[in-house]
């Protein structure tokens, strides 16, 4: 197991929700990362962000770890959920709410409903 893999496993087990992204939740550095961080921020989800631009080993390591070629990547309770398109679809369908509820992750249900209203 590589150092990057160990670090990734440690990170996703230390927080209920982790977003591997380009940039930070306060300052995303790509549109896809910005969209996912924006959804989580708006919904008030407590999450850890990992800036893959700060560490090339993590940037490649997370792609290998999940067998998913793109960033961002969202993990809930240690499980890979998906990237930007999947998170967007899950948000609009209500599946993300269900996932958070089933895993005891706090979020603002009203905010989630507002996202759906605005995009409906």
The H or E element containing residue 51 is strand 48-51
Q: Across the strands, what pairs with 49?
A: 19
Domain residue ranges of the chain, discontinuous segments joined by +: 3-119
Is the pLDDT score of 120 beyond 90?
no
- Mean pLDDT score, 28-56: 97
pLDDT score of 9: 97
Of the pLDDT bands very low, low, confident and very high (cuts 50, 70, 90), residue 2 is: confident
The residues, any chain, with a CB within 8 Å of residue 91's CB and separated by 6 or more, are: 39, 112, 115, 116
Contact by Cβ (8 Å): 77, 48? no
Q: Six-digit token pair at 118? A: 């605005």
Q: Is the pTM of this model over 0.85?
A: yes
Quickly tell me which residue has 């160990």 as its tokens: 6
Residues 1-20 as b or e (16 or more Cβ within 10 Å = b): eeebeebbeebbeebbbbbb
Of the pLDDT bands very low, low, confident and very high (cuts 50, 70, 90), residue 1 is: low
Fold of 3-119: Glutaredoxin (3.40.30)
pLDDT score of 90: 98
Q: What pLDDT, in 10s, does the model give residues 48-90?
A: 999 999 999 999 999 999 999 999 999 999 999 999 999 999 9
Q: What pLDDT, in 10s, does the model give residues 7-32?
A: 999 999 999 999 999 999 999 999 99
Contact by Cβ (8 Å): 66, 38? no
């Amino acid at each position: 197991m590589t150092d990057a893999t160990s670090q990734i496993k440690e990170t996703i087990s230390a927080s209920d929700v982790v977003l591997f992204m380009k940039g930070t939740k306060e300052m995303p550095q790509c549109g896809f990362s910005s969209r996912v961080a924006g959804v989580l921020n708006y919904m008030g989800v407590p999450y850890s962000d990992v800036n893959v631009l700060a560490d090339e080993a993590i940037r490649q390591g997370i792609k290998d770890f999940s067998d998913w070629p793109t960033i961002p990547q969202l993990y809930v309770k240690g499980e890979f959920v998906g990237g930007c398109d999947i998170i967007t679809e899950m948000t609009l369908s209500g599946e993300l709410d269900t996932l958070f509820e089933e895993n005891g992750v706090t979020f603002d249900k009203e905010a989630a409903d507002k996202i759906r209203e605005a995009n409906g």
